[in-house]
Amino acid sequence: MVRLDGRSYVSVKDFSAEETLEVLRTAAALKRERKEGRARRLLADRTLAMIFQKPSLRTRVSFEAGMTQLGGHAIYLGPSDIRLGERETVEDIALTLSRMADLIMARVFGHDLVVDLARHATVPVINGLSDREHPCQILADLQTIHERRGRFEGLKAVFCGDGNNVAHSLLYGGAQLGMGVTVVTPPGYEPAPDIVAEAATMGRATGAAIAVSNDLAAACRGADVLYTDVWASMGQEAEAERRKRDFRPYQVNDAVMALARPDAVVLHCLPAHYGEEIDYATSRRPGSAIFDQAENRLHAQKALMVLLAGALRASGASATAAEAR
Q: What's the mean per-residue pLDDT of the chain? A: 94
Average pLDDT over residues 236-240: 77
What's the pLDDT at 80?
86
Q: Which helix (H) or strand (E) holds 106?
A: strand 103-107
What is the model's pTM?
A: 0.95
- Whether 317 has a pLDDT exceeding 80, the answer reads no
- When mean pLDDT is compared across 5-9, 77-81, 222-226, 296-300, the lowest value belongs to 77-81
The string of pLDDT tens digits covering residues 262-286 is 999 999 999 999 999 999 999 999 9
What amino acid is encoded at 127 in this protein? N
Strand pairing category for 265-268 and 47-52: unpaired
Asked about 134 being catalytic, the answer comes back as: yes
Dist CA 21 CA 18 (whole Å):
5
Average pLDDT over residues 24-47: 96
Asked about 293 being catalytic, the answer comes back as: no
What's the pLDDT at 314?
61
Which sign, positive or negative, has the C-alpha torsion 48, 268, 144, 185? Answer: negative
Which entry of 102, 131, 224, 229 is annotated as an active-site residue?
229
Q: Per-residue confidence at 134, pLDDT binned at 50, 70, 90?
A: very high
Q: Residues of 170-209 as b/e, b for ≥16 C-beta within 10 angstroms?
A: bbbbbbbbbbbbbbbbbeebbbeeebbebbbebbeebebe
Helix (H, G, I), strand (E, B) or coil at 126: strand
Which entry of 25, 134, 146, 168 is annotated as an active-site residue?
134
Which entry of 46, 60, 243, 297 is annotated as an active-site residue?
297
Which entry of 40, 269, 299, 301 is annotated as an active-site residue?
269
In the chain the domains, ranked by start, together with CATH numbers, are 12-134+298-308 (3.40.50.1370), 136-292 (3.40.50.1370)
- Whether 323 has a pLDDT exceeding 60, the answer reads no
Q: With CA atoms as reference, report the closest residue to 122 among 152, 162, 144, 91.
A: 91
Q: What angle do CA 180, 133, 93 make, to 5 degrees?
A: 155
Asked about 58 being catalytic, the answer comes back as: no
Dist CA 69 CA 64 (whole Å):
9
- Whether 168 has a pLDDT exceeding 80, the answer reads yes
Q: Which helix (H) or strand (E) holds 85?
A: none
- When mean pLDDT is compared across 154-158, 230-234, 249-253, the lowest value belongs to 230-234
Which entry of 46, 60, 107, 243 is annotated as an active-site residue?
107
- Whether 164 has a pLDDT exceeding 80, the answer reads yes
Asked about 107 being catalytic, the answer comes back as: yes
The string of pLDDT tens digits covering residues 192-237 is 999 999 999 999 999 999 999 999 999 999 999 999 999 987 666 7
